[in-house]
Amino acid sequence: MWKPASTTSPNPNPNTKTTTPEPEKPVMSTTPTFSSEPTPVAAPRNAVINSTEQATIGKSLVIKGEVTGSESLYIDGRVEGTINLPGNRVTVGRNGQIQANINAKELVVLGKVKGNITASDRVDIRNEGSLAGDVVCQRISIEDGAYFKGSIDIRKANAKEMNGVATTSSKTEDQTKLAVASA
């Protein structure tokens, strides 16, 4: 819609043409909506991620012991012990080296992790990431090129109810087996 209006205006008025095209040209150069539309879409995603508070452990930091808190954590250094952030995301950066059991809502692994993982939501092991340990989560993603050694236990949101049903049915089966064996 803007292009026909600007092409119509510059042709009849040459003097207005020099004044009008200058503001319109920058508008038109940004109006290739293909490049400007993805930028605004990408910006809110980054804004949402950055708007949540996130602590950072830098490359040169070494922490031995227990890490607890109530905000997301980005680790680019070294941590040994336990990491307990049950409602938040833990991101292990490319330089991160972790020898700890981790309890978090989400875990993203770009570096090296040795330890057992309990995530209430998801675990992502990116292509340069390495994870050696047992994982308990609802969802897991392991990219091509990533290293994983351990077991995976996928738990659904209603795991308690399902475990209760499974336990009841297995007890009934065990009792039936015992009754058949004794008869």
Q: Are residues 40 and 83 in the same domain?
A: no
Over the stretch 128-151, which tens digit does the pLDDT of each residue have? 999 999 999 999 999 999 999 999
Report how far residue 96's alpha carbon sits from residue 67's, in angstroms, rounded to the nearest whole number: 15
Measured in Å, how far apart are the chain's first and last C-alpha atoms?
Answer: 87
On average, the pLDDT of the chain sits at 74
- Distance, in Å, from the CA atom of 127 to the CA atom of 106, rounded to the nearest integer, reads 17
Residues 75 and 132 in one domain: yes
Within a domain: 93: yes
Quote the tokens at residue 132. 């050696």
- The whole-number pLDDT of residue 159 equals 52
DSSP for 51-69, please give it: HS-EEEE-TT-EEEEEEE-
pLDDT in tens, 51-91: 468 999 999 999 999 999 999 999 999 999 999 999 999 99
Residue 181 domain flag: no
Q: Say if 118 falls within a structural domain.
A: yes
- Has residue 165 been placed in a domain? no
Q: Mean pLDDT throughout 178-182?
A: 39
Instruction: State whether 109 and 144 are in the same domain.
Output: yes
For residues 134 and 62, membership in a common domain is answered with: yes
**Are 70 and 147 contained in the same domain?**
yes
Residue with tokens 């890490």: 67
Residues 31 and 61 in one domain: no
Mark whether 97 and 19 lie in a shared domain: no
Q: How far apart are CA 64 and CA 78, in angstroms?
A: 8
Half-sphere exposure of 16 (CA within 13 A, CB side): 8
Share of the chain above pLDDT 90, in %: 56
Q: How many domains does the chain have?
A: 2
Domain containing residue 59: 53-154
Burial category of 10 from C-beta neighbours within 10 Å (exposed 0-12, middle 13-18, buried 19 and up): middle
**In this structure, are 39 and 104 located in the same domain?**
no
Q: What is the pLDDT of residue 157?
A: 80
87 and 111 inside one domain: yes
164 domain residue, yes or no: no
Q: Is residue 159 part of a domain?
A: no
